[in-house]
Structure 1
Amino acid sequence: MKKVQLKFLAAFFLLTGIGSYAQETIITKAELPNVVQKFVLEHFSKSTVDYIKKDKETFSTDYKIKFSDGREIEFDSDGNWTEVDGNRTVIPTAFISKNILNHVKQKFPNTHIVKIEKGRFGKQDVKLSNGLELEFNAQGEFKRIDD
């Protein structure tokens, strides 16, 4: 029994030690990866950056950009967007799959996309201005309304 407890404690301290390596720092636009800079320039050029956070962990580095109008974008280590959140305001849609855009336009013509988030295996969750949340697969095919 003591061996099990010791192994558990050793694993706990190892994982806690790895997790404590995470560091959040505020950086400038120039310190972002080029692909992230390009995305921001293409889709948010008229927005004013409030701050940019770099979250460096043991195996990855993530970036979060917060704009003065409340919108936020999160990127993974490779500079791919993982979440674009308008915080209840409209977001640009040029980077969103045409399948998703067409579905929203056809089925919910009086709404706008206010948030999109990539999940596991390419799944994408889309939040509309009317409060509905839609789920799409990696190919942008509609799966269901998420409650």
Structure 2
Amino acid sequence: MKTKLNLATCLIAGLAFGFSANAQKTTITKAALPANAQTFLKTHFAGQEPSYIIKDKETFSTDYKVQFTNNTEVEFDGKGNWEEVDGNHTAIPAAIIPKTIATYLKANFANTTVTKISKDYNGYEVDINNGLELEFNSKGIFTRIDN
């Protein structure tokens, strides 16, 4: 029994190492980004050139990270859909914020700006410049303040 457990543990560890060893990070140009990502950057970051763009290719997924000279970072999935925009404590473009979230913020946190927004299948996480981190569901409805 112990031999089978050790063999299984070694097999799992070997697979995990193999998957992580297959990760490849390369620097690419803006033209090499998926079309959705290029459109997003043209729309929300017109006139700004990235400092660098990294393509992170792993065994089962590909992600992209774009950083601008003002330290704003944008992360995209393999299809070029944005997953996170991080202004690194400075305001991000307001047009990125979904309307329901923007309406909630205007009504409940007037005179604040969004410094970071991330989204996944559960919803959105929004950091505002007063230090709060707010969570919204996938429809943009406020759910809670995260500590």
Please tell me the TM-score bracket, short chain as reference: over 0.9
CA–CA distance in 2 between the matches of 1:80 and 1:46?
20
| RMSD, aligned CA | 0.9
Alignment-derived partner of residue 142 in structure 1: 142
Q: CA deviation at 1:47?
A: 2.0
CA–CA distance in 2 between the matches of 1:70 and 1:82?
17
Residue aligned with 2:27, SS: strand
1:129 counterpart = 2:129: yes
Q: CA deviation at 1:94?
A: 1.4
Alignment-derived partner of residue 14 in structure 2: 13
CA–CA distance in 2 between the matches of 1:90 and 1:53?
23
CA–CA distance in 1 between the matches of 2:90 and 2:49?
15
CA–CA distance in 2 between the matches of 1:111 and 1:77?
32
Which amino acid in the other structure matches residue 17 of structure 1?
G
Q: CA deviation at 1:2?
A: 1.1
Alignment-derived partner of residue 88 in structure 1: 89
Aligned pairs, how many?
A: 146
Mapped contact 1:47–1:69 kept (Cα < 8 A): no
After superposing on structure 2, the runs of 4+ consecutive aligned residues of structure 1 that deviate more than 3 Å are none
Mapped contact 2:122–2:137 kept (Cα < 8 A): yes
CA–CA distance in 2 between the matches of 1:59 and 1:93?
33
Scaled by the length of structure 2, the TM-score of the pair is 0.96
Q: CA deviation at 1:84?
A: 0.2
Report matched runs for 1:1-147 at 5 Å: 1-119=2-120, 121-147=121-147
Scaled by the length of structure 1, the TM-score of the pair is 0.96
Which amino acid in the other structure matches residue 129 of structure 2?
S
CA–CA distance in 1 between the matches of 2:46 and 2:7?
54
Which amino acid in the other structure matches residue 141 of structure 2?
E
Mapped contact 1:47–1:67 kept (Cα < 8 A): yes
Q: After superposition, what is the alpha-carbon deviation per residue over 1:63-102, rounded to whole angstroms, capped at 9, x for unaligned?
A: 0000000100000112111100000111012132110000
Mapped contact 2:34–2:78 kept (Cα < 8 A): no
Residue aligned with 1:94, SS: helix
What residue ranges of structure 2 are gaps of 5+ in the alignment? none
% identity of equivalent residues: 49
